[in-house]
Each structure stands twice: as C-alpha cells, then as structure tokens.
Chain A
Amino acid sequence: MRSIEAIRRSGVGIGPDRTITDAATIMEQAGVGALAVIDGGRLVGIVTDRDLVRRCMAQRMPADARVDSAMSSPVVTIQADAELHDAFRLFRTNAVRRLAVVRGEHFVGMITVDDLLVNLVGDISDLVRPVTAEILFAHHDPHVPATQ
C-alpha cells in the first residue's frame, strides 16, 4: 500500500504573531485552504479558511488579530512514512478534513480527505476497467461441433 509520502501536498506555514488578514491573503495567493502555524520551527497549530470564517469573521475579530487566536491546537498529525490506511483511521476518528504530515517532529506538508478520495477512485477504476471490458466486449468461443 502506498505511503503518505507518495500523495503529500506542499505545506504553507505562517508565524503565530501574523495577522488573520495576512493568513487569508497567503491562503489566496498560495491556493491553499489551511496554513500550518510554525513557531521557532515547531508546528504549534493549524488555521483553515473555515476557521477564518467561523472564528474570525463571525465573531467579528479585528482584521489585525493574531493567527494564534484563530488556530486549532494541538494539530492532528501523521508521519510521512505512515501508510494510507493510517490516514483513513485518523480521518475516521477526528473531525478534520486535513492532516499535517510530519517527519519526526518537523512539519513537511499536508494531505486532505480529497487526496485520499482521488487516490481511492484511481485504484477502483483500475479494478473496474477489466471487469467492464469483459462485460461490454465478452469473447465468445466459436462453436465447435461435437463430431466431425
């Protein structure tokens, strides 16, 4: 089975003292929905686009509020050399859509529920294709008379 490393996406991080406006801008520029919050090289939290809406905008936080006032901590993490079924288990037991990928204690990227779904669909498609071909293009052996 593939490891997490094979499907790991790039990760984008921000310091805890940056503003939530900076976080939103970086998410937009980087095309990501979540940022790792990095303090002194350590992963201390995660802030998502959903956090910015629900915890910041809905609670009318000022635009210069610190990122660490909106982040989730501790972060649900998975080792880069773990296998995909470990990710399935973590998504099943935690109400999250993303996992922070770490190597030891160092943040190295992200994986999302979407990544696992796309990966699964690819594998299922590989299995379905020969079965579909057999159904659609069934091979019939020519009739051979019992006696000549």
Chain B
Amino acid sequence: MRARVGDRIIIEGHHLGEPRRDCEVLEVQGADGGPPYVVRWSDDGHTAFFFPGNDATVQQYEHETT
C-alpha cells in the first residue's frame, strides 16, 4: 500500500452488518509512501499508528503541487 498525507484509508468490516471504517493519513512513516501511517479516526483528534492489511484500501486525493 502507498499513501500520502491527506489520503483516506477505508477498512472493510469483519462481521456481518459491521460498517466500513475510515481514517485520514496524517503522517507517512514508511519508505516510499509505505506503512506505518499516523492516522486520525475522527474529528476529535485521536491519532494512532496504522498498519494496513488485506482489509484496507486507500482513497487518494489530488494533492496540490507547489
């Protein structure tokens, strides 16, 4: 998986009826956009390390080039 700051990671539910979860990438700690990532799960500011598995996909957003 490759992600950039600002991208959103979608995690599929593991149980019947369990909703998808998503988080925002705040920091990329791996090489070449690889994991681990520092992510934020909601607007309350709680951050965590994230190590994507087979249940996760990246939703990339256009980043402005400077």
Task: Spell out A's residues near B (CB within 8 Å).
Answer: 6-15, 22, 25-26, 29-31, 35-36, 38, 41, 107-110, 114
Contacts and interface: CB of A to CB of B under 8 A. Distances in A.
29 contacts: A7-B54, A8-B53, A8-B54, A9-B14, A9-B53, A10-B53, A10-B56, A12-B48, A12-B49, A12-B51, A14-B48, A14-B49, A15-B49, A26-B48, A29-B21, A30-B41, A31-B11, A31-B14, A31-B18, A35-B48, A36-B49, A38-B36, A38-B49, A41-B29, A107-B51, A108-B51, A109-B51, A109-B53, A114-B14
Interface range for B: 20 to 34
A100 B7 CA distance: 26
A99 B52 CA distance: 16
Nearest to A112: B14
Contacts of A108: 35, 51, 53
Contacts of B46: 22, 25-26, 29
Contacts of A29: 21, 41-42, 46
A43 to B, nearest CB: 10
B55 interface: yes
A9 B54 contact: yes
Interface of B: 11, 13-14, 18, 21, 23, 29, 35-36, 41-42, 44, 46, 48-56
A72 to B, nearest CB: 18
Contacts of B54: 6-9
